[in-house]
Structure 1
């Protein structure tokens, strides 16, 4: 049994909207913003894989693998920044980082 293409697109749209809402609602917390961005990128990857399966070409799956590599690099750099900023200011609140003067 195959899942209809539009069901996957609806799920991806809902995931993207949830990630966007997370990013907008918790824009004062760096960690929650990163989680929202990851949810949005996962929705995009789901769309690529669904389109690839629907049209019978592997381009979307290959691009999603590249996107997985990009997100893993992004997460490692972002978490390193969060750890550094938390050690420096003892907070992950973005309002504390509005001025990076020292």
Structure 2
């Protein structure tokens, strides 16, 4: 039988993979994918806690839907910025995007 610990382990593993992807990769699209993995790990934990602690309520699912909506908006804006920067500079390397600093 799958318990809460299994879901938390899966969420923790996904979060660590996403954190590694966001910190180790130099491509802006790969960084966005790492952030999405971290948000999906949070969604798994929210739904698992809701299912095992308060099965009569749907609070975990509602919070997960809000996280999905915010993630979709973040991806839309982030991808638009990355595409615009790539068109102007022909590179999407995160290390080369220091031209916004003072």
The question of a shared fold, defined as TM-score above 0.5 by the shorter chain, is answered with yes
Say whether 1:71 aligns with 2:71. yes
State how many pairs are aligned: 99
Q: Which runs of 4+ in 1 moved over 2 A?
A: none
Is the contact made by 1:85 and 1:91 (CA closer than 8 Å) also made in structure 2?
yes
CA distance in 1, matches of 2:59, 2:4: 17
CA distance in 1, matches of 2:31, 2:77: 14
Pairwise CA distance, 1:67? 0.6
Is the contact made by 1:38 and 1:71 (CA closer than 8 Å) also made in structure 2?
yes
CA distance in 1, matches of 2:19, 2:96: 22
Where do 5+ consecutive residues of structure 1 fail to align? none
Aligned-residue Cα RMSD (Å) equals 1.3
Where do 5+ consecutive residues of structure 2 fail to align? none
Is the contact made by 1:89 and 1:96 (CA closer than 8 Å) also made in structure 2?
no
1:9 corresponds in structure 2 to 8
1:60 corresponds in structure 2 to 60
